[in-house]
Structure 1
């Protein structure tokens, strides 16, 4: 077998990922994994966590977080957040140390159960695989609520949702590609209904959402727009996307895209960063939803002097902690 040094590169995003002509993939930007805190809660936050397999074919799993419960907490129901990680659909993991620290803090601050989804990655599994996996996990969580009446549920993990989860406070949230997933799941829930229409999404947050399109908007540079990093990434992770850059999953404002009034949740929080290449798209999405006739509440939150996913890459800084508090406030309100 040829070594990476001798194989021919088919596609490369420098410092991030390479795909070779033989189909193999080398990820250059990977973070170490972190084990769950089941037997011993996280010492800083008191949050417990465990991993669960939701499907074997395809392989879909998640890490579940349960905040520390006092006697009052054991008697009340908690909001449930289904979370989708960043990584341009081709990088990242729910089990990385980067995500683990973030979800421990968010679960503790929001006093919420968090379900962090390990969806399949492109290019081995091109889109729409990540969308399908994420939808399956959201349906799985919704079905957990309905199981409360018969006491059924997978050992341990669903029990946390059954015993402590609040049916009326189901949230979805994600960063970058995860924010894109949030939009698309809220749209799909509006079209198909979530778990036979028995469960509704209370709210969703889109943090630095990964949207683009064939035409520039706002202050986006016009030069090389269709060959920019967001455009090239979309072609890499979804080469067969109908409409290309103007596929509705990537460009919610494209001609022929489904009406945004179909979004199935009560409220949305769109977060942008002033130095982020995707900043204009986040603001544009916020304005599109506001003008769509959607009946929910939407809010825009901007951190001017930060860049894309700063709250992850600069975890523990003052701005990162402020962001976590803002997300927690959205979930708790």
Structure 2
């Protein structure tokens, strides 16, 4: 956590902790998240894609929400079954929202191109709710989705019941959301989902993995004060093992074997200019998955001339369209 120092004038509002430019915490308990992208409402029919969306409450203890996306179904019968994607948005565990305009646009595109139902999870954020809250919220969403496989859930959704193919459940995410996806896949390998449902596939775009020691091209000078280190210490201050907790460093000594990943296939993507962030960690993770004894199939895609999550902030570029197509094709297989 980056501390701003002590202000002896307790009557003056001042910053007590911060991770610029993501979040600022003040002595009166108030927060600022300056780069949060504005939220947008759901739509009965997105003008660009024809995708319908709606917001639902899927848990009352704690209160947890998600935005659901349903592509336009043109192939008979009307109760056509299509795959389901449980999506985890990025935002360093402490900002952003499933309801933000860019995440909504992204999910509209993926739902339309891949022909999948998407459940985009609004997990709780630090510092109001430190990790592992976001992990538990995302697992609760996955369990809620799986519970529809036998239509006995009192808190059920008709889109999932009428159109969900529970043999094709995917999990996917970007940046910190991709980190959540890794942890969901690991948990799914050792903990049963309702109805015996299995996770079929997982995609991780530019996943947030880190550790206590620099590797590869990561900057050595000031390594402990990098934003990546500060974010983890801010979001999970009590993490056992700190930066070598297996949830952030799946290759740390003593971390569970990647052979337990609870899915049948995986897509990993990296950006070539992400070398001071997460590229090298993901390449090592890719190698470790292949050598772990895991029985699934893993593929890797790199966009050499782009930076971290480039596709989320300008979806009209050739490179962004290519990555979205790669993700959509993975979900269609």
TM over 0.5: yes
Paired residue secondary structure (1:134): helix
The reply to whether residue 299 of structure 1 matches residue 303 of structure 2 is no
Match of 1:253 among 229, 244, 251: 251
Per-residue CA distance 1:162-194 (angstroms, 9 max, x = gap):
111111100000000100000001111111122
CA distance in 1, matches of 2:56, 2:84: 16
Runs of 4+ in 1 over 2 A off after TM superposition: 21-24, 71-76, 152-155
CA distance in 1, matches of 2:200, 2:21: 38
Equivalent pairs, count: 321
The reply to whether residue 86 of structure 1 matches residue 85 of structure 2 is no
The corresponding residue for 1:318 is 318
The reply to whether residue 59 of structure 1 matches residue 59 of structure 2 is no
Paired residue secondary structure (1:316): coil
CA distance in 2, matches of 1:142, 1:22: 41
* Offset at residue 14 of structure 1 (A): 2.1
* Offset at residue 312 of structure 1 (A): 0.6
CA distance in 2, matches of 1:73, 1:36: 26
TM-score (norm 2): 0.93
TM-score (norm 1): 0.93
The reply to whether residue 21 of structure 1 matches residue 27 of structure 2 is yes
Relative distance call for 1:255 and 1:45 in structure 2 (3 A) is: same
* Offset at residue 78 of structure 1 (A): 0.3
Paired residue secondary structure (1:192): coil
Preserved contact between residue 19 and residue 230 of structure 2 (Cα < 8 Å): no
Give me the CA root mean square deviation: 1.4
Preserved contact between residue 144 and residue 153 of structure 1 (Cα < 8 Å): no
Ranges in structure 1 where 5+ consecutive residues have no aligned partner: none
The corresponding residue for 1:183 is 182
The corresponding residue for 1:44 is 48
Paired residue secondary structure (1:170): strand
Preserved contact between residue 90 and residue 123 of structure 1 (Cα < 8 Å): yes
CA distance in 2, matches of 1:216, 1:292: 22
* Offset at residue 71 of structure 1 (A): 3.6
CA distance in 2, matches of 1:113, 1:181: 19
Per-residue CA distance 1:53-103 (angstroms, 9 max, x = gap):
011221210000000011436353101000000000001100010101110
The corresponding residue for 1:115 is 119
Preserved contact between residue 153 and residue 159 of structure 1 (Cα < 8 Å): no
The corresponding residue for 2:329 is 329
The corresponding residue for 1:289 is 289
CA distance in 1, matches of 2:41, 2:77: 25
The corresponding residue for 2:5 is none
The reply to whether residue 124 of structure 1 matches residue 128 of structure 2 is yes
* Offset at residue 195 of structure 1 (A): 1.9
* Offset at residue 284 of structure 1 (A): 1.3
The corresponding residue for 1:12 is 18
The corresponding residue for 1:237 is 235
Paired residue secondary structure (2:299): strand
CA distance in 2, matches of 1:183, 1:201: 12
CA distance in 1, matches of 2:140, 2:13: 36
CA distance in 2, matches of 1:56, 1:166: 25
Paired residue secondary structure (2:190): helix
Per-residue CA distance 1:257-313 (angstroms, 9 max, x = gap):
111100000001011001112111111111111111111000111111111111111
